[in-house]
């Protein structure tokens, strides 16, 4: 029997208009869709011939084991089917794509990768800021607050890089994170939190590092959210406060309760 193939597909932050044409084509040809919790569930409308299997993985919640997901991909691909593994955001950024790629390559299964927009970029777009504004920094650092050994990054070292910090999965550790960062950054450093970035359920907070943990918690902001810290985020301070709403294109509502 001819071996099928796997497509690791990046579903972006939730707005289906942000999917690439390549993503839409892959979904249209899919036999099996393995759907991540953080992807807009409406994406399955683009895969009319596919069987949809939900394989959610959420920090702090009951999740589908990674090894089981890898076995599912191999099982269906070895039957000659086209399996589309749908991941929220960008598949190659904190999406455990490396583990899946390694397992599939060991099994001799062809893999395609379709890139997408990460929630970090969606958050920056919502705030209307450049993460690499040359008047404020020389780069951007994307970092997860959760290491594989359950430890934490060296926040002081990261702060010393002078880059804009875009922190994923940091809300459950926001107090320790802020305390560590303030050992190397001024308390007045601009900071923001954007929850459900790029969806109609989006919420955000904008202020300074010394108020980040307290105010974001008081506002009820939680996962999934992106934390952004650095002088470049200060560019949002004036115009985000204006009463006029920020224009966002959201053709199809994103059901946050269903994805939570």
Domain assignment present for residue 59? The answer is yes
CB 256, CB 201: distance < 8 Å: yes
CB 31, CB 3: distance < 8 Å: no
Let me know if 112 is a catalytic residue: no
Let me know if 36 is a catalytic residue: yes
Cβ partners under 8 Å of residue 255, min gap 6? 40, 41, 42
Same domain, 97 and 194: no
Domain assignment present for residue 159? The answer is yes
Full-model pTM: 0.85
| Confidence band, pLDDT 50/70/90 cuts, at residue 59 | low
Where residue 86 sits, what CATH number does that domain have?
A: 3.40.1010.10
Domain assignment present for residue 258? The answer is no
pLDDT surpassing 60 at residue 243: no
Same domain, 135 and 62: no
pLDDT surpassing 60 at residue 245: no
Where residue 190 sits, what CATH number does that domain have?
A: 3.30.950.10
Question: Which member of 37, 87, 169, 171 is catalytic?
Answer: 169
Same domain, 68 and 178: no
Same domain, 108 and 161: no
pLDDT at res. 156: 87
Spatial CA neighbour of 12 closest among 129, 85, 90, 76: 90
Let me know if 79 is a catalytic residue: no
Spatial CA neighbour of 169 closest among 145, 199, 143, 191: 145
| Confidence band, pLDDT 50/70/90 cuts, at residue 2 | confident
Domain assignment present for residue 249? The answer is no
Question: Which member of 36, 37, 73, 171 is catalytic?
Answer: 36
| Confidence band, pLDDT 50/70/90 cuts, at residue 198 | confident
* Residues 131-168: tens digit of each pLDDT: 999 989 989 999 998 776 667 888 889 988 999 999 99
Where does the chain have alpha helices with state H?
21-28, 66-77, 97-106, 119-127, 155-159, 174-181, 209-218, 236-239, 256-259
Residue 101, number of CB atoms within 10 A of its CB: 16
* Residues 16-55: tens digit of each pLDDT: 999 999 999 999 999 999 999 889 999 999 999 999 999 9
Q: Give the range of the structural domain holding residue 39, as residue numbers without chain letter.
A: 5-114
Q: Give DSSP secondary structure letters for 195-249.
A: ESTTSTT-EEEEEEHHHHHHHHHHTT--SSEEEEESGGGGGHHHHTTSSSPPP--
* Last residue of one domain, picked from the residues 114, 132, 154: 114
Query: What are 210's two structure tokens?
Result: 């010394």
Question: Which member of 37, 57, 171, 182 is catalytic?
Answer: 57
Domain assignment present for residue 259? The answer is no
Rounded to 5°, the CA angle 190-203-119 comes to 75
pLDDT surpassing 50 at residue 249: no
């Amino acid at each position: 029997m001819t071996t099928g193939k796997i497509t690791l597909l990046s579903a972006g932050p939730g707005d289906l208009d942000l999917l690439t044409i390549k993503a839409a084509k892959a979904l249209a040809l899919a036999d099996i869709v393995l759907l991540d919790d953080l992807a807009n569930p409406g994406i399955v409308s683009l895969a009319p011939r596919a069987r949809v299997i939900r394989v959610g993985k959420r920090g702090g919640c009951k999740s589908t084991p990674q090894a089981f997901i890898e076995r599912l991909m191999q099982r269906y691909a070895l039957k000659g089917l086209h399996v589309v593994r749908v991941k929220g955001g960008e598949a190659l950024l904190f999406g455990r794509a490396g583990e899946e790629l390694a397992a599939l390559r060991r099994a001799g299964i062809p893999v395609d990768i379709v890139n997408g927009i990460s929630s970090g970029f969606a958050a920056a777009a919502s705030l209307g800021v450049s993460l690499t504004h040359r008047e404020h920094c020389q780069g951007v650092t994307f970092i997860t607050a959760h290491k594989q050994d359950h430890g934490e990054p060296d926040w002081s070292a990261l702060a010393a890089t002078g880059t804009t910090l875009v922190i994923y999965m940091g809300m459950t550790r926001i107090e320790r994170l802020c305390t560590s960062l303030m050992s190397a950054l001024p308390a007045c450093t601009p900071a923001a939190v954007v929850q459900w970035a790029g969806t109609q359920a989006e919420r955000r907070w904008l202020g300074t590092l010394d108020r980040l943990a307290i105010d974001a918690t008081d506002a009820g902001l939680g996962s999934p959210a992106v934390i952004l810290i650095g002088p470049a985020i200060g560019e949002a301070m004036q115009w985000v406060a204006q009463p006029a709403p920020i224009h966002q294109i959201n053709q199809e509502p994103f059901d946050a309760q269903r994805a939570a």
